[in-house]
Chains A and B, each alone.
Chain A
């Protein structure tokens, strides 16, 4: 048979590999800064751009979409060409994909620090960047499918199944969750409100973990692990079962991020049970990885690449077992809003994503640079520093999370709360310090790797075009190996795409549609009214400064939370919240009913210097809010956008909104003046106070909220 000669494009792989390294270092440095700010508020430097509320979203976006994102593309571009025995479909598309993605990352970093954010976790980027992401993702899809369609291999290997499912699901999640109403070039409001927004957001957020941090990495594990260990994949049938089960079940589990919230109970229960059912499919991947190493464990002792991979897969197994346990309501009651969640995600991020990426880099760079790794010993050192880093990071966080949650729940025998919120924070600060040391160690390990790789690259030369040969794929190309029923779909990438899409769409549709259409899921409360223009401006400041990163707005129906914060939150209270701001972490106390709890002057002093009102507080100062004026020019556009989203402001209200705004600002100014605080009425702090004083007050004084169907 005629054999064709072609060339794998290693240059694009190299580009993505270097981008992975660069953004990994940047993302982890930002993470370290955030970790230090947790016990050293002065490390916020008194600037809006470097304050925790903006630094943390930058950290999460950088490590997820920049570090792991480039890692995915590195793995896909290397393995896909070889698994399909063809170069990438189009070098131009590869380049557009690469530079487009880097441009998105840079613009994300700038806009997030500047305070342009949608306020939805892991989807903070504003609408122009959302559109850019969609376009680049489509470019990636065309390039991937073009490559698959011109393959010289009849069947698709399991890694490619995962790539296909990843592509289609991420596209669906990103598009649905990013529906927003633009107000200006860098400001938009989420299309959805309150409970519905929360459900869409966590359907997205949970599955961003599933289909950005898990499935593509499982795909590249299925390529690089057998390659590095030189062992056959343990079980083909396990691959089949765990792949389909994983993508089908994963998508349902989003509501486990909203247990005990105002989300309808039926949706919460679905989140619980699908999370439990997810254990086995997740572990299928771990087993297939670890059992592939049967007969190669002697190599694991010697080879740093395999060591990294083994720890990565083990961490994957731990995180995917812990996740379902955290979805049980009784466990979630303790873990949610505490540092336990932070520990959990870092087992996944540092262990699974980080270590697998490192293992692949150590394996791949010497190959495309045609030279052995500069120092195997240094790689071993990196492995140990990194592992100790993970341990030092996660154990204090588990400890802190459990301790603090227990302190929150503690009552005295007399029936009063045993601890003030602040006491529970100051109690765990030593653990925050240890955590940052763990993070620092992990980062040092990464620097060791960067050094090792730079040395390797210097010693070798890039094999930009790697020659390969294969016979063309003909209709009658014989199938190698046994023929199984599943082979049918392995020959049909487009059907695979469609079936994957149908499977992942089912869970989403069955949870989202009833929540949107059935009115009883969100009983309306007649006393809940839209925000005044000043409160709306304050709310936008709240979002822009990332207050939701540390403060929740969701009082769960627990005795301790009701005692501490007030009546538990009801679904009907959030109907005008575009976007919802329930938060996912309580570094500071819940703010759902902060309204009217403290005087205006308290808030004024507290924003200027939190420690003056709460001695020992770790909240940074927001002093600039005292000087910066409210952007009143944006008020009419904001009101109009809200009206288009269905918020019932009167017709033509956008034209008079600013008059109302100034009236309310003036009344707050007068109250502050009575407490001897002199400030002009048009300062951001005034809008902030207006919003804070409004929060959760709509149903106060009406103990039995009237529900209307």
Chain B
């Protein structure tokens, strides 16, 4: 009678554990508010991951404790201690759902406060640690009992013994008992039980699948691809805004100024030499893109114009926008460098493109085009 009740007890407790898993996981996800943003928080995800991992540990540990209890019982079936022990394991497992219900209640109450959900998640983790600790103490108690009563048994923990138990191995010597008698070209087959961790792992995966589909497609508490993108962009925009405000990096086409200090231009040159040379050549003489050294400009020659051209590009003419690639400060440096190229002498200058623009007192020396009368243009650059 006793082995039967033990078997039953074990099955019930495993069911309880799985049930418990359901309960603890549910609030953990429910802790994420209806808007999916909180669950997309990496810390929240990490914490939930830890919660799930700890749960798995609790499951395994509970399984080991039960196994140890079973072992203990088998040896001392005749003694009355058995009843006491069952009570003990019952207490272990009975206590856990209590924790679960507590956490379920508390986390549902804190849907919107992210601080609170953080602490709730941490609390769940602490409770789980407590449970693990409790299980460990019990396991130790069981093991020490075994040691005290059966001193002949191996005194220390043995990995191979644990491994046998973990996989529910039958000793190789007893193999003939589970030989199915099959003979396929000499191949025999045994009737070993499924490794328990494999079986429960399978159940856990199926459980995961149900929760996953429920969250994404029924409860909508997790963001689908498009929503995830919107969240990421919104968050990034806010971060960027905050950073730029602090970093005094907020230069744009209105505020940019032409700077000629060598250090400043060197920064621009560095970008130019990696990114711009394929089309404009290293000396700015132009190939696919226009010559940057002559007096002819397609989109204007002021520092503001150049900044704008680099930042937004003129895709229809082959100039790509670079604002996703370089910071405003970098684009400003690059614009100054480009402007500084004006009047230099490239090895193979491309023919002029665009409109002739002449700044007062400055013109490419080899320009064959007569400059308009300078006096009308004195002071600032003029676009014709």
Is chain B found bound to chain A in the same assembly? yes
Stretch of B78-86, B116-124, B143-151, B184-192 with 4 or more beta carbons under 8 angstroms from chain A = B184-192
Q: Which of A287, A557, A602 contacts B228 (CB 8 A)?
A: A557
B379 to chain A, nearest CB (A): 34
Decide if A128 is an interface residue (CB 8 Å cutoff): no
Contact A276 B205 (CB under 8 A): yes
List the A side residues contacting B288 at CB < 8 Å. Answer: 598-599, 601-602, 605, 613, 675
Known: A233-B190, A605-B288. A265 touches B209 (CB 8 A): no
Q: Which of B182, B205, B226 contacts A279 (CB 8 A)?
A: B205
Q: Who on chain B is nearest to A484 by CB?
A: B180
Please report the C-alpha to C-alpha distance between residue A614 and residue B288 in the assembled complex, in whole angstroms. 13
Contact B187 A232 (CB under 8 A): yes
Q: Which residues of B (200-231) have their CB < 8 Å from a CB of A?
A: 201-202, 205-206, 208-209, 212-213, 216-217, 224-226, 228-229
List the B side residues contacting A557 at CB < 8 Å. Answer: 225-226, 228-229
Contact with A along B159-191 (1 / 0, CB 8 A): 000000001010010010001111111111111
Contact A153 B209 (CB under 8 A): no
Contact B190 A235 (CB under 8 A): yes
Decide if A650 is an interface residue (CB 8 Å cutoff): no
Contact B180 A481 (CB under 8 A): yes
Known: A413-B243, A559-B232, A602-B288. A294 touches B201 (CB 8 A): no
Stretch of B6-14, B60-68, B87-95, B311-319 with 4 or more beta carbons under 8 angstroms from chain A = B311-319
Please report the C-alpha to C-alpha distance between residue A412 and residue B240 in the assembled complex, in whole angstroms. 9
Q: Who on chain A is nearest to B192 by CB?
A: A235
Contact A235 B193 (CB under 8 A): yes
Contact A273 B212 (CB under 8 A): yes
Please report the C-alpha to C-alpha distance between residue A272 and residue B208 in the assembled complex, in whole angstroms. 10
Contact B225 A268 (CB under 8 A): yes
Contact B172 A295 (CB under 8 A): yes
List the B side residues contacting A82 at CB < 8 Å. Answer: 185
Contact B202 A269 (CB under 8 A): no
Q: Which of A153, A227, A329, A416 contacts B326 (CB 8 A)?
A: A416
Contact A235 B191 (CB under 8 A): yes
Contact with B along A373-416 (1 / 0, CB 8 A): 00000000000000000000000000000000000000111111
Decide if B249 is an interface residue (CB 8 Å cutoff): yes
Please report the C-alpha to C-alpha distance between residue A646 and residue B33 in the assembled complex, in whole angstroms. 46
Interface of B, helix, strand, loop or mixed by DSSP: helix
Q: Who on chain B is nearest to A222 by CB?
A: B187
Decide if B244 is an interface residue (CB 8 Å cutoff): yes
Contact A153 B184 (CB under 8 A): yes
Contact A417 B206 (CB under 8 A): no
B335 to chain A, nearest CB (A): 15
Q: Which residues of A (587-645) have their CB < 8 Å from a CB of B?
A: 596-599, 601-602, 605, 612-615
Contact B240 A266 (CB under 8 A): no
Known: A232-B190, A233-B189. A482 touches B275 (CB 8 A): no
A615 to chain B, nearest CB (A): 7
Contact with A along B275-289 (1 / 0, CB 8 A): 101110000000110
Known: A269-B217, A273-B213. A235 touches B194 (CB 8 A): yes
A131 to chain B, nearest CB (A): 36
Q: Which of A157, A294, A615 contacts B278 (CB 8 A)?
A: A615
Decide if B114 is an interface residue (CB 8 Å cutoff): no
Please report the C-alpha to C-alpha distance between residue A115 and residue B173 in the assembled complex, in whole angstroms. 61
Contact A599 B317 (CB under 8 A): yes
Decide if A526 is an interface residue (CB 8 Å cutoff): no
Decide if A83 is an interface residue (CB 8 Å cutoff): yes
Decide if B299 is an interface residue (CB 8 Å cutoff): no
Contact B188 A414 (CB under 8 A): no
List the B side residues contacting A95 at CB < 8 Å. Answer: none
Decide if B109 is an interface residue (CB 8 Å cutoff): no
A523 to chain B, nearest CB (A): 12
Please report the C-alpha to C-alpha distance between residue A260 and residue B223 in the assembled complex, in whole angstroms. 12
Please report the C-alpha to C-alpha distance between residue A505 and residue B243 in the assembled complex, in whole angstroms. 54
B209 to chain A, nearest CB (A): 4
Contact B201 A279 (CB under 8 A): yes
Contact B182 A236 (CB under 8 A): yes
List the B side residues contacting A481 at CB < 8 Å. Answer: 180-183, 189
List the A side residues contacting B155 at CB < 8 Å. Answer: none
A429 to chain B, nearest CB (A): 16
List the B side residues contacting A241 at CB < 8 Å. Answer: 194
List the B side residues contacting A238 at CB < 8 Å. Answer: 192, 194, 198
List the B side residues contacting A266 at CB < 8 Å. Answer: 217
List the A side residues contacting B365 at CB < 8 Å. Answer: none
Contact B191 A415 (CB under 8 A): no
Please report the C-alpha to C-alpha distance between residue A85 and residue B187 in the assembled complex, in whole angstroms. 13
Decide if B347 is an interface residue (CB 8 Å cutoff): no
Contact B180 A236 (CB under 8 A): yes
Contact with B along A570-595 (1 / 0, CB 8 A): 00000000000000000000000000
B352 to chain A, nearest CB (A): 14
Contact B181 A482 (CB under 8 A): yes
A227 to chain B, nearest CB (A): 7
List the A side residues contacting B225 at CB < 8 Å. Answer: 260, 265, 268, 329, 556-557
Q: Which of B167, B184, B275 contacts A420 (CB 8 A)?
A: B275
Most B CB contacts (10 A, CB to CB) among A232, A237, A272, A597 go to: A232
Decide if B344 is an interface residue (CB 8 Å cutoff): no
Q: Which of B179, B279, B316 contacts A602 (CB 8 A)?
A: B279
Contact A598 B327 (CB under 8 A): no
Contact A234 B192 (CB under 8 A): yes
Contact A417 B324 (CB under 8 A): yes
Decide if A480 is an interface residue (CB 8 Å cutoff): yes
Contact A415 B190 (CB under 8 A): no
List the A side residues contacting B237 at CB < 8 Å. Answer: 415
Q: Which of B167, B224, B229 contacts A559 (CB 8 A)?
A: B229
Decide if B247 is an interface residue (CB 8 Å cutoff): yes
A486 to chain B, nearest CB (A): 11
List the B side residues contacting A280 at CB < 8 Å. Answer: 198-199, 201-202, 205
Please report the C-alpha to C-alpha distance between residue A534 and residue B30 in the assembled complex, in whole angstroms. 55
Contact B169 A294 (CB under 8 A): yes
Please report the C-alpha to C-alpha distance between residue A236 and residue B318 in the assembled complex, in whole angstroms. 67
Decide if A564 is an interface residue (CB 8 Å cutoff): yes
Q: Who on chain B is nearest to A294 by CB?
A: B172
List the A side residues contacting B175 at CB < 8 Å. Answer: 232, 295
Please report the C-alpha to C-alpha distance between residue A233 and residue B182 in the assembled complex, in whole angstroms. 10
Decide if B325 is an interface residue (CB 8 Å cutoff): yes
Decide if B323 is an interface residue (CB 8 Å cutoff): yes
Contact with B along A72-92 (1 / 0, CB 8 A): 000000010011010000000
List the B side residues contacting A153 at CB < 8 Å. Answer: 184
Contact B191 A237 (CB under 8 A): yes
Known: A280-B201, A559-B236. A568 touches B327 (CB 8 A): no
Please report the C-alpha to C-alpha distance between residue A227 and residue B228 in the assembled complex, in whole angstroms. 52
Decide if B27 is an interface residue (CB 8 Å cutoff): no
Decide if B320 is an interface residue (CB 8 Å cutoff): yes
List the B side residues contacting A614 at CB < 8 Å. Answer: 278
Known: A276-B209, A558-B229. A416 touches B191 (CB 8 A): no
Decide if A502 is an interface residue (CB 8 Å cutoff): no
Q: Who on chain A is nearest to B231 by CB?
A: A559
List the B side residues contacting A558 at CB < 8 Å. Answer: 229, 232
Known: A280-B198, A563-B324. A414 touches B243 (CB 8 A): yes
Can you list 28 A-B pairs, Cβ within 8 angstroms, ordered by A?
A: A82-B185, A85-B185, A153-B184, A223-B187, A236-B189, A260-B225, A269-B216, A273-B212, A277-B208, A291-B167, A412-B327, A414-B243, A414-B247, A415-B327, A416-B323, A416-B330, A420-B274, A481-B180, A481-B183, A481-B189, A557-B228, A557-B229, A559-B229, A562-B233, A563-B324, A602-B278, A602-B288, A605-B287
The 5 A-B residue pairs with the shortest CB-CB distance in the complex, in nearest-first order: A599-B318, A481-B181, A415-B240, A280-B202, A273-B209
Known A233-B190, A280-B198; 18 more pairs at CB < 8 Å: A157-B187, A235-B189, A236-B190, A265-B216, A276-B209, A283-B201, A329-B225, A414-B244, A415-B244, A415-B327, A417-B324, A420-B325, A480-B181, A480-B182, A597-B320, A599-B288, A602-B288, A605-B287
